[in-house]
Structure 1
């Protein structure tokens, strides 16, 4: 599952960036932070998926309480990291560390204001080649939906449970969505929706088979 302004501008752009992490005009890679984010995202992915292993034994109330606790606790720590470092870019924690930070911000839906703050700073890093444009697009859509606006890249989906087919949540200018997606390195929307539909089927396969649905309903693509 999971791609230099001059020193004075860098320091001004990131909220409260620790000067000890800047050496000869470059941000020093922070292994401890990368390791911490990796540990956090392991728990995040447990909470973001359907219950597995010992978590299957939890009641729905207990499972939801666990998920809320994970996302709430992580957001508080992410906020501290953001206050100190700004958006975690490739230079500070590597591509994996940057992705881990972004992914957990994606799951901080209970504080859309925080997501928007991170999004604004992430754009600065994307423009410098220090963060993933495609991940930026996913956070754009998340923030827009969480603040009552239509998404523009179609990355946030819902499902038709009668057909096992993914479809984009409220989308702006759907006719030109694939041009926008291509500009940030995302595959065509139809391919993405088919991938999400296939994952949805595999996750809920037992239930769909009982309903007589033997596979997801896929969209036509250029490859089809």
Structure 2
């Protein structure tokens, strides 16, 4: 049974990566939340919801490190379902506290949810690529962030910024359009009022 759940989770990740790669190749991935990607995320979230209902959070003991990371990826990408993503965050917090998944999995989903909600992030995993270069979304405590990152098994925040420097920057118009569309989407989905 465990190998079946692991196989299911790995298939979800593979489907996500395949569609992402196809959409990135033609550039349409970067033009808002593409309907094909949204559908993959919705279907995968439903499948993960079923796994959780039957087995609890699919941690490393249940599905191995690869399976657990695939479950995290599906949760991380369930952005169209705020309540489900928040539930996954709670489960990942518990599982990582017990050492059943790496703490970085909780860090990423916690930060992503906080940014979607318009709140400061703790771990600095979410970066905004701006016309003038990458900028870490607002931090809860910039003096504490590297200690929190270290506890989660993540490199210092300076490493995140250095890596993001290689990404091409959008024009001011592209950035403004993306920000406005993102705000509208977060309201429509229910991340913010």
- The 2-side partners of 1:114 and 1:52 are apart by 26
1:32–1:194 Cα change, 3 Å: same
The question of whether the paired residues in 2 share the 8 Å contact of 1:112 and 1:147 is answered with: no
Query: 1:137 aligned to 103, 107, 110, which one?
Result: 107
1:59–1:142 Cα change, 3 Å: closer
The question of whether the paired residues in 1 share the 8 Å contact of 2:6 and 2:67 is answered with: yes
Name 1:180's counterpart in structure 2. Answer: 148
1:84–1:147 Cα change, 3 Å: farther
- The 2-side partners of 1:125 and 1:100 are apart by 15
Structure 1: gaps (5+ residues):
1-28, 209-224
1:192 aligned to 2:160? yes
The question of whether the paired residues in 1 share the 8 Å contact of 2:41 and 2:77 is answered with: yes
- The 2-side partners of 1:158 and 1:58 are apart by 19
Structure 2: gaps (5+ residues):
172-193
1:119–1:158 Cα change, 3 Å: same
Cα shift readout 1:29-48 (whole Å, capped 9, x = no counterpart): 71111111111101212344
Shift of 1:51: 2.2
- How many residues end up aligned between the 2 structures? 170
Cα shift readout 1:117-163 (whole Å, capped 9, x = no counterpart): 111122221122111101111111112222332111110111123x4
The question of whether the paired residues in 1 share the 8 Å contact of 2:24 and 2:30 is answered with: no
1:30 aligned to 2:2? yes
- The 1-side partners of 2:29 and 2:140 are apart by 38
Deviant stretches of 4+, over 4 Å: 57-61
TM-score of the superposed pair, with normalisation by structure 2? 0.78
Higher helix share: 2
Query: 1:45 aligned to 17, 27, 48, which one?
Result: 17
The question of whether the paired residues in 2 share the 8 Å contact of 1:112 and 1:146 is answered with: no
Shift of 1:106: 0.5
Cα shift readout 1:36-78 (whole Å, capped 9, x = no counterpart): 111110121234457255xx397998x8121111111111111
The question of whether the paired residues in 1 share the 8 Å contact of 2:23 and 2:29 is answered with: no
CA RMSD of aligned residues (A): 2.6
Cα shift readout 1:54-110 (whole Å, capped 9, x = no counterpart): xx397998x812111111111111111111122110011100100000011101111
- The 2-side partners of 1:35 and 1:69 are apart by 20
The question of whether the paired residues in 2 share the 8 Å contact of 1:153 and 1:181 is answered with: yes
1:30–1:157 Cα change, 3 Å: same
